[in-house]
A and B are shown apart, each in its own frame.
Chain A
Amino acid sequence: MIGLLLPSIRATLVLAIATGIIFPCIITAICQVCFPFQANGSLAKQGDKVVGSELLAQGFSKPEFFHPRPSAAGSGYAGEASGGTNYGPTSRKLILGDQSFAGIKQEAENYRKENDLAKDVLVPVDAVTRSASGLDPAITPANALLQSKRVAKARNLSESQVQELIKKYSEERYLGLIGEPAVNVLRLNMALEALPKGTRQAE
């Protein structure tokens, strides 16, 4: 019995220190030198102030900002509680909602109202569904374009100016092949904020 347990105890200690302490420390050291921006959370800053992470969605509800997808992380976009709704396809709450939860029906109505869309305009599905992480930083280009009119009006910009920005911040597929086109909402909104105010161009 001792002959069996002793190597097990020694192996546990040796491998735990090697894989659980030494390995992550070496990797941390390399990453902090080679990729300090990414290794520290891809923080987005305005001056010295940390306003979020470029990789994480944050809540936007004012009309002058592009809005991310709805979120099920905590009370919405909570970094400490990532996750999805986990509602299945036949969930009444998911589709119709209740007092505490806006279902897809209500999300679609809100989206139409906010963006002044006619009743028969279909809402892109990513705008009314919650992502898996609750922190999905991106929306589809189709979703962004439908919001551009509202944002342009609220910022006194021309629609084409806003749409140009959308184009600039659309991430294409990797090598034209892998992934899906996506617009990073925080980067786009920060670019809007960086524009000089009231520069509406003649249309």
Chain B
Amino acid sequence: MTLIGWTQIFLFALILLVVTKPLGSYMLKVVEGEKHILSGVLGWLERLTYKLFGINPEKDMTWIEYGQSMLAFSLISMLFTYAILRLQGFLPLNPMHFSTEQAPAYATALTPDLAFNTAMSFTTNTNWQAYSGENTMSYLSQMLGLAYHNWISAAVGLAVAAAFIRGFARRTAGGVGNFWTDLTRSCLYILMPMGIVYSLFLAAQGVPQTFDAYQVASTLEGAKQIIPLGPIASQEWIKMLGINGGGFLNANSAHPFENPTPLSNFIQMISIFLLPAGLTYSFGKAVGDTRQGWALLAAMFVLWFAGTFLCYQFEAIGNPNMQDQGVEITTAALGDSGGNMEGKEVRFGLANSALFAVVTTDASCGAVNCMHDSLTPIGGLVTLLNIQLGEIVFGGVGSGLYGMLVYAVLTVFIAGLMVGRTPEYVGKKIEKKEVKMAMLFVLAAAFSILVFTGISTVLDFPEKSFINPQGATWNNVNNGGPHGLSEILYAFSSATGNNGSAFAGISVNTPFYNTLLGIAMFIGRFLMMVPVLAMAGALAGKKHVPATSGTFPTYSWLFVVLLTGVIIIVGALTFFPVLTLGPIVEEFLMNSRRLF
């Protein structure tokens, strides 16, 4: 670790802290339909959108109506993307002729199971990629099939978070808001203005933005090199800001065309945490006590810092197996270009790679600027555990906040049990229904990750079978020993957590993995969102309980510590056994020079 590395990490945290309050108040104004800086300029467009949707923006929906609209919209959008992907060979803006007879030799076919997996992946904001963008997707598929989902899955996340916040903020109310207005306002006033500035910045840094076909260069030594192009900048920004993470190109944010400079990298990392950080303030403001929001943010910062420290530390120590080959890896000699440089880019170095890896898994982003599969065992453990904790450390757009609030509910429940009082949170009594829904939220994720991983370590199919051509499902990994298990575990953690990053050595583009991972993504998105909306509905209907001297103050440091503790204990109890068999044992084996 180096001083300059830590300086960059602290600068990152400082910028986030500064923007949280102004951004949070703006976002709250937007979803509540109050006057703000853009409502005068773009108000006509908002009203036109409602007319085109054919909806009544004044209608206040119950949580069931809200949830139905959200699910129906997600279903239609998913079918839409599936159709675009399957039909891309017949559609325009396909200069490389993918899915046609003139496709280049390196093209990958968009089979039905791959299209299903991709459509599910982008609908659920997972952006797991079983394909390589540059040799599979036409420009139209990228823009209309995938970038579109980056926008709306982020906007849907914001909408559900807004509904959940209303659950706490409203008193004896029947409804939790209007899904269509939440969706429209998020797109129009939050995402679009940022998107224009952000995509132009990225293009200026060197991200391509063109509809022309790939270039063929003849290199200085006379070889042919294909230079992939496309409308990348207009997709890259929402991939980061919407915490989607599905790259235009296979190498994602490690690719110089997605993330050309250290500055673009720094901004990309900030944009992952930007909206979720702001939402904590929106929450505090909505419930009438901004300290409540800062307490959640404090717990997030504690967990973020712990992860960053561990990951950076172990990546800086590096891999002794490399050192044995006469390779200089110490950061004392090489600064942040030393340590474990396998799967990392020189322009980012260690600090910015470790920070990116932690940030992208704290949030449910899943963009990567280094290959997580090649991280050191403990560096990889941090990313894995971040996802398994439910991506509540800042988390996805919306999903991070409501995930954290579910844990806050559990925390006051446990604290209430200890002192024998009915727990309250921000003026609402937490009763049977809320705790049941919170537990459903926690258990659904654990079930999906652990059971599906378990299944995938034992199923044996005949070799060259349609369902899994590699034969047994554990043959799909490209690393032996405990690292192989980590690859499978990471795949299902990432899919369930709607993260989308990968220990990418595993070959998942087979009908077996495409389907099972698709199901995991569905569980991770909708079996989380529906209990959250049910909780919001139940809470909105409750009376406000004034705080008394017996109320546990949920803005205190004691609460932050307790909340962090509950998160770690729930996470550790659930996942410690399998982590022991994967990354933890691998750390010991690496240091005793065992290779597989």
Contact = CB atoms under 8 A, between A and B. Distances in A.
B328 interface: yes
Interface in A92-125: 92, 94-96, 104-105, 108, 112, 119-125
Contact of B72 (A4, A105, A189): A4
Interface in A49-95: 49-53, 55-56, 58-62, 65, 69, 73-74, 77-92, 94-95
Contacts of A139: 346
Contact of A58 (B104, B200, B219): B219
Given A39-B210, A79-B225, 7 more contacts: A5-B76, A7-B55, A23-B195, A86-B371, A86-B504, A88-B586, A181-B337
Nearest to A68: B346
A14 B49 contact: yes
The 4 closest A-B pairs by CB, nearest first: A179-B262, A180-B349, A86-B505, A132-B254
Nearest to B70: A8
A79 B226 contact: yes
Given A87-B478, A119-B326, A178-B266, A7 B69 contact: yes
A55 B375 CA distance: 24
A40 B212 CA distance: 8
21 contacts: A14-B49, A23-B192, A24-B147, A24-B234, A35-B200, A39-B203, A41-B208, A53-B215, A53-B217, A60-B220, A82-B251, A89-B342, A90-B321, A122-B333, A125-B341, A129-B342, A133-B251, A135-B255, A136-B256, A179-B266, A186-B220
A16 B152 CA distance: 9
Nearest to A54: B206
A147 interface: no
A133 B69 contact: no
Interface of B: 4, 7-8, 11, 49, 52-55, 68-69, 72-73, 75-77, 80, 104, 106, 132, 134-135, 143-145, 147-148, 151-152, 180, 183, 187, 192, 195-196, 199-200, 203-212, 214-221, 223, 225-229, 231, 233-235, 249-251, 254-257, 260-263, 265-266, 318-319, 321-322, 324-329, 333-349, 352, 368-371, 373-377, 380, 478-483, 486, 503-505, 586, 589-590, 594-596
Interface string A164-194: 0000000101100111111000100110010
Given A15-B152, A78-B226, A28 B266 contact: no
B594 to A, nearest CB: 6
Interface residues of A, number: 106
B248 to A, nearest CB: 11
Interface of A: 4-12, 14-16, 18-21, 23-24, 27-28, 30-32, 34-35, 38-44, 49-53, 55-56, 58-62, 65, 69, 73-74, 77-92, 94-96, 104-105, 108, 112, 119-126, 128-140, 142, 171, 173-174, 177-182, 186, 189-190, 193
Given A81-B250, A92-B596, A129-B322, A59 B223 contact: yes
Contacts of A126: 337, 341, 346
B215 A131 contact: no
B207 A27 contact: no
A15 B260 CA distance: 30
Contacts of A5: 72, 76
Contact of B204 (A20, A38, A137): A38
B102 to A, nearest CB: 15
Contact of A12 (B80, B342, B375, B483): B80
Contact of A125 (B251, B338, B380, B596): B338
A128 to B, nearest CB: 6
B83 to A, nearest CB: 11
B223 A55 contact: no
A162 B145 CA distance: 49
Given A89-B321, A125-B328, A131 B343 contact: yes
Contact of A95 (B251, B481, B595): B595
Given A179-B348, A180-B337, A132 B251 contact: yes
Contacts of B195: 23
A113 B76 CA distance: 60
A200 B46 CA distance: 69
B261 A174 contact: yes
A71 to B, nearest CB: 11
A128 B325 contact: yes
